[in-house]
Amino acid sequence: MAHRSFQDAKGVEWQAWDVQPQSAERRRHDRRTGSRRAPDRRHVASPRSKIDSEFAKGWLAFQCEGEKRRLVPIPAGWHALPDEAMLELLSRAAVTRSSGAGRRQPSPPDGA
């Protein structure tokens, strides 16, 4: 998982990282029958969130103090783009709803 930070024109520092859902999270339908499958609770260590089909192949996450955004699809080579190009991607990213109390917030990886 790549991670980087950059500043916008107002001096706000943004964190950006790619999110790749695990195949178990993406697999919501049985390919053989076309029907929905219930997760086998014997093999699920924690509750899984449902992922909209547009996010099944991952997204680019942006976060600053008080705001989160997501961009799909993940642009190739995004981690090596200049800050100006990152600002363009940020402007195209959709604002996500804020996390409520008690909900787990995604965070950028440590030490990246």
Radius of gyration of the chain from its Cα atoms, rounded to whole angstroms: 16
> Above 60 in pLDDT, residue 5?
yes
Where do the H-state alpha helices sit in 34-106? 83-92
> Above 50 in pLDDT, residue 3?
yes
Other CB atoms within a 10 A radius of the CB of residue 55 amount to 15
Q: What is the pLDDT of residues 20-50, one digit of tens each?
A: 987 545 455 445 555 555 555 555 555 566 6
The Cα 76–Cα 16 span in angstroms is: 14
| pTM of the predicted protein model | 0.64
